[in-house]
Amino acid sequence: MPAPIRLRELIRTIRTARTQAEEREMIQKECAAIRSSFREEDNTYRCRNVAKLLYMHMLGYPAHFGQLECLKLIASQKFTDKRIGYLGAMLLLDERQDVHLLMTNCIKNDLNHSTQYVQGLALCTLGCMGSSEMCRDLAGEVEKLLKTSNSYLRKKAALCAVHVIRKVPELMEMFLPATKNLLSEKNHGVLHTSVVLLTEMCERSPDMLAHFRKLVPQLVRILKNLIMSGYSPEHDVSGISDPFLQVRILRLLRILGKSDDDSSEAMNDILAQVATNTETSKNVGNAILYETVLTIMDIKSESGLRVLAINILGRFLLNNDKNIRYVALTSLLKTVQTDHNAVQRHRSTIVDCLKDLDVSIKRRAMELSFALVNGNNIRGMMKELLYFLDSCDPEFKADCASGVFLAAEKYAPSKRWHIDTIMRVLTTAGSYVRDDSVPNLIQLITNSVEMHAYTVQRLYKALLDDISQQPLVQVASWCIGEYGDLLVSGQCEEEEPIQVTEDEVLDVLEGLLVSNLSTPVTRGYALTAIMKLSTRFSSVNRIKKVVSIYGSSIDVELQQRAVEYNALFKKYDHMRPALLERMPIMEKTATNGPTEIVQTNGETEPSVVESKHLPPVTHSCISQSFDYLLLLTLCLGIPPMTAYNKNGLKIDFTFERANPNPNIAVITIHASNSTEADMTDFVFQAAVPKTFQLQLLSPSSNVVPALNQGTVTQVIRVLNPQKQQLRMRIKLTYTLKGSAVQDLAEVNNFPPQSWQ
Amino acid sequence: MHFLYPMCCFNSLLNLTCQNQNNYIQDHLKSALFDAFCLTADVFNRPLCSLISLFFHFFSSFQMQFMLLFSRQGKLRLQKWYVPLSDKEKKKITRELVQTVLARKPKMCSFLEWRDLKIVYKRYASLYFCCAIEDQDNELITLEIIHRYVELLDKYFGSVCELDIIFNFEKAYFILDEFLLGGEAQETSKKNVLKAIEQADLLQEEAETPRSVLEEIGLT
């Protein structure tokens, strides 16, 4: 059997493949050779074969048949074998594999090996991908190595311990003794990994955190030495001594100083020192400054220090390096809540970042801009934000539009400005506006009574230009339906009124109905708008014609509406004006804004986050059948009546038409008691003429509370197939103040709709 | 209404994952959550996204989750994963991330938000070095970590180029494993890392030499 080809040879060969198919063929051939070699238990070339397998695995080909071979390599005595074996294990034998646990014994042995590089391999593998069971088994060995004087092993053991703690948090305690003098090490590697270990422990356990607070002075000292010491070639990066260690110490200080006054006090000086002395010309210096700023903002630092931190961020914003600007915007977003005024000072720079070419920076700048909007800067900020909305990528438009609406609602200096802003958003980003904005906008417009004429005129003009943006079209249709009369009569005060006839308006609305661009929801709006105009315009016949055409529309929603509206013309014409009346001013509900944009007003009033979240179901109902529902419930509703009112007992009847059988009237009785005592053992009985059938369902209770504090309800179903006039005889029995009361009565005043 | 139902399901999945001590089941649940996360991330269903992003907090809040090296054509040259994921998941992440990073224009910043992670990437010649870090991590220092790794490769191979990493990928891994462990830097001195690698290489040579000599003589 010829020796298997070398790794480099294989790589060279595979790279000559010109097509994917050719490559696959080569790989398959080689895999077959490797497989047979594995079967023969060839020790000599196992290492080479596994290495080749790992290369092919990286290209994306399956390599699971090499898993056991990796185990054999790890168990081998040769260092080369172990090196490749452990590499293979880290690539192929993660904790999800069944054979993963078989590594445990080998790793255990290697952790105690005489050669530190072998121990290192074992620690590395365990620390990168050891499963919880493995960590449990080997934690003791790791703990032992954590106490060794060999710094090469100690640093690896520390990071391995971090992994063990992440996997098996209960084992954290056992590493506590070993941490005693970790920080007195001179070796930077050990120092760095020790700080990482301490950070992990403090994050996971408040007890540990309290315990390690005493290390603050020592950490401050180490940091000070790093800054003040002269040039150290071994750890220098662009003139800064061991930036990795500095950053890690700063992070640990952050965790230790958080919500602790004494610790925060102890680190104030060093933080100020780092903040002012660090070289900012290169990324590495800025990395340290960034970490410092994060620490200052998180601990209980004095206000001077906080201002210093925000000013650093402000300087970052002006840095040429995009990365620095990005990081500054992210941090400012985190601090805008707590240090609002300080951040406001950098508002113009932040707004400039809206024009940046980088997508991530633009997004951050947008979020931050919205957070900075307040009553004082609303006009200027909105101008910038609307300009941004015009030119930004589609992925931003929805969030930006929502943000604009929210901000406008909170800080609009005038109603006209508010409407104008909304118009601007609808016309520039109309298709990206969230669905739930439509009902909110409609509500807003309804409540701005004096702006109705102006609004409908502007919306009409917008419709003439463009009917593709559905939210715009929906709002516009709704408005035209409501205020079409103002449009035609040319009553606009805010701007030059346009001359438009009823027919032109109806043309536009009908155009929406037939256009391919309109969604079914939009068509619904348009049809309803046309219907409403029947009470506002004089060309009723035209409207009747349109409505009747859509009575046979394929779209079920449209068809239903049209049929109902037809019925409105025919049977319920007397109700039509009342039903199609102008909408009254609606009660203000909280707006449903995007969750990630935080609103503060940054002024002396306490900042109240106004975004209450209404369940999405309600909004979808509203947006789809906003006025339609209102119309129809009124249409089919039958007014309630009082059936009986004597001696303090009042019984009201309310009606519903039972679907699907229109011959059944569903009556709900509501019994209320205005006397001073409760009426107990209350029983309601009813009898109807022979042509009817009656079904009495169980009452809600048999106690009618005194002083109208509650009602007893009961449902009666009456079948009236011959559509005769409904009459009923009722019998009431109850006990009041100890004495039994009984009464009979006739109910003849049923409204005609209940039995017709 | 449409996203509330899956939300409740995933809530229960999450609870199950929290309560269940059995690692095997945990991993299956994590895998299911991850797949769901991928689905919802595509649909950009933010509430569901953020709920499932809690899944990632099973891993700690300061950690490098993985490092990928790939060429401008999208060919993977090195992959180091510090979190347990199935092969399928790794392939999916790799594919999507590579696409996303390659689509970035040259002047854009080195950071991007991807799913629930922060991606820090930098291009050196024809290779992209890409790290995924968590929410609390410092992006700027991660850039320095990447730079340090490149310097180590450069020193080791002498003016490193992509071919060196292709033909000596195992050495690239060895160097990485001497610099980082579990996603954290274990040694901040360039010199010490290179010294360790040097010693290990020597050890490897010593182990191999006897065999090759014997082979030359003709004795196996």
Question: Which DSSP category does B107 fall into?
Answer: T
pLDDT value at position A608?
Answer: 33
Q: Tell me: the pLDDT tens digits for B101-129? A: 999 988 888 998 888 899 999 999 999 99
Say yes or no to pLDDT of A590 above 80. Answer: no
Contact across the interface for B109 and A83, Cβ inside 8 Å = no
Distance, in Å, from the CA atom of A352 to the CA atom of A575, rounded to the nearest integer, reads: 57
pLDDT value at position B22?
Answer: 45
Report the CATH architecture of B66-200.
Answer: 2-Layer Sandwich (3.30)
CA distance A466 to chain B (A): 28
More confident residue, B46 or A736: A736
Of B82, B143, B187, the CB nearest to A283: B143
Q: Provide the pairing of β-strand A728-736 with A739-747.
A: antiparallel
pLDDT value at position A727?
Answer: 86
Q: Where do the CATH 2.60.40.1230 domains begin and end in chain A? A: 641-754
What residues of B are in contact with residue A593 (Cβ under 8 Å)?
none
pLDDT value at position B216?
Answer: 59
Contact across the interface for A327 and B23, Cβ inside 8 Å = no
* Cα distance between the two ends of chain B: 73
Of B138, B174, B220, the CB nearest to A287: B138
Q: Tell me: the pLDDT tens digits for A307-339? A: 899 999 999 999 989 999 999 998 898 888 888
| B-chain residue closest to A246, CA distance | B141
Contact across the interface for B23 and A44, Cβ inside 8 Å = no
Burial annotation A723-739 (CB, 10 A radius, 16+ → b, else e): eeebebebebebbbeee
Distance, in Å, from the CA atom of B14 to the CA atom of B8, rounded to the nearest integer, reads: 10
Dihedral through CA A130, CA A135, CA A140, CA A145, nearest 10? 30
Helix axes A20-39, A46-58, angle to 10 degrees: 150
Residues 6+ apart with CB under 8 A from A304: none
Please tell me the pTM assigned to this model: 0.70
Contact across the interface for A322 and B47, Cβ inside 8 Å = no
**In CATH, what class is A641-754?**
mainly beta
| A-chain residue closest to B198, CA distance | A117
Tokens 């508010």, residue? A418
pLDDT band at A341 (very low <50, low <70, confident <90, very high): confident
Distance, in Å, from the CA atom of A486 to the CA atom of A454, rounded to the nearest integer, reads: 9
Rounded average pLDDT over A192-212: 95
Distance, in Å, from the CA atom of A234 to the CA atom of A499, rounded to the nearest integer, reads: 82
CA distance B189 to chain A (A): 5
Helix axes A132-146, A151-167, angle to 10 degrees: 150
- Separate counts of helices (H) and strands (E) for chain A: 32, 10
Q: Provide the 10 A C-beta neighbour count for residue A349.
A: 19
Is the backbone peptide bond immediately before A660 cis, with ω within 30 degrees of 0? yes
Contact across the interface for B141 and A242, Cβ inside 8 Å = no
What residues of A are in contact with residue B85 (Cβ under 8 Å)?
94
3 state DSSP class of A717 = strand
CA distance B200 to chain A (A): 6
The angle subtended at Cα A37 by Cα A95 and Cα A64, nearest 5°, is 20
Which two tokens mark A605? 């009033």
From residue A213, give the alpha-carbon distance in Å to each of A190, A221, A222. 20, 14, 15
| pLDDT tens for each residue of chain B, 220 residues long | 454 555 555 555 555 554 444 444 444 555 555 555 445 444 444 444 444 444 433 344 578 999 999 999 999 999 999 999 988 999 999 999 999 999 998 888 899 888 889 999 999 999 999 999 998 889 999 999 999 999 999 999 999 999 999 999 999 999 999 999 999 999 999 999 999 999 999 999 887 776 566 665 666 5
Q: Is the dihedral of CA B101, B102, B103, B107 positive or negative?
A: positive
Of A58, A163, A235, the CB nearest to B188: A235
Of A84, A127, A290, the CB nearest to B138: A290
Of A128, A189, A288, the CB nearest to B189: A189
Residues 6+ apart with CB under 8 A from A126: A107, A111, A134, A135, A138, A142, A160, A163, A164
CA distance A344 to chain B (A): 25
Q: Which of B184, B190, B197 to mutate to test the interface with A (most CBs of A within 10 A)?
A: B184
Rounded average pLDDT over A687-699: 85
Which two tokens mark A510? 């009908």
Q: Where do the CATH 3.30.450.60 domains begin and end in chain B? A: 66-200
Burial annotation A698-719 (CB, 10 A radius, 16+ → b, else e): ebeebbbebeeebbbebebbbb
Contact across the interface for B111 and A133, Cβ inside 8 Å = no
3 state DSSP class of A627 = helix
Dihedral through CA A640, CA A643, CA A646, CA A650, nearest 10? -40
Q: Which of B44, B136, B140, B206 to mutate to test the interface with A (most CBs of A within 10 A)?
A: B140
Is the distance from CB of A333 to CB of A367 less than 8 angstroms?
Answer: yes
Contact across the interface for A96 and B84, Cβ inside 8 Å = yes
pLDDT band at A693 (very low <50, low <70, confident <90, very high): confident
Is the distance from CB of B35 to CB of B88 less than 8 angstroms?
Answer: no
Q: Where do the CATH 1.25.10 domains begin and end in chain A? A: 394-580
Q: Which of A153, A358, A614 to mutate to test the interface with B (most CBs of B within 10 A)?
A: A358
pLDDT band at A737 (very low <50, low <70, confident <90, very high): confident
From residue A193, give the alpha-carbon distance in Å to each of A68, A92, B138. 32, 27, 17
Contact across the interface for B181 and A128, Cβ inside 8 Å = yes
| A-chain residue closest to B192, CA distance | A234
Helix axes A303-317, A322-335, angle to 10 degrees: 140
| B-chain residue closest to A617, CA distance | B1
| A-chain residue closest to B145, CA distance | A244
Q: Which of B141, B143, B165, B212 to mutate to test the interface with A (most CBs of A within 10 A)?
A: B141
ipTM above 0.85, yes or no: no
Burial annotation A544-565 (CB, 10 A radius, 16+ → b, else e): bebbeebbebeeebbebbbbbb
Contact across the interface for A162 and B182, Cβ inside 8 Å = yes
Say yes or no to pLDDT of A554 above 90. Answer: no
In the chain, the amino acid numbered A404 is V
pLDDT value at position A54?
Answer: 96
pLDDT value at position A372?
Answer: 92
CA distance A675 to chain B (A): 45
What residues of B are in contact with residue A12 (Cβ under 8 Å)?
167
CA distance A126 to chain B (A): 9
Of A162, A234, A616, the CB nearest to B189: A234
Say yes or no to pLDDT of A625 above 50. Answer: no
- How many residues in total does chain B contain? 220
Contact across the interface for B184 and A155, Cβ inside 8 Å = no
Report the CATH architecture of A394-580.
Answer: Alpha Horseshoe (1.25)
| A-chain residue closest to B204, CA distance | A80
Partnered with residue A716 across adjacent β-strands are: A667, A696
pLDDT band at A618 (very low <50, low <70, confident <90, very high): very low
Distance, in Å, from the CA atom of A174 to the CA atom of A349, rounded to the nearest integer, reads: 51
Contact across the interface for B143 and A323, Cβ inside 8 Å = yes
More confident residue, B89 or A692: B89
Distance, in Å, from the CA atom of A622 to the CA atom of A629, rounded to the nearest integer, reads: 9
Contact across the interface for A124 and B84, Cβ inside 8 Å = no
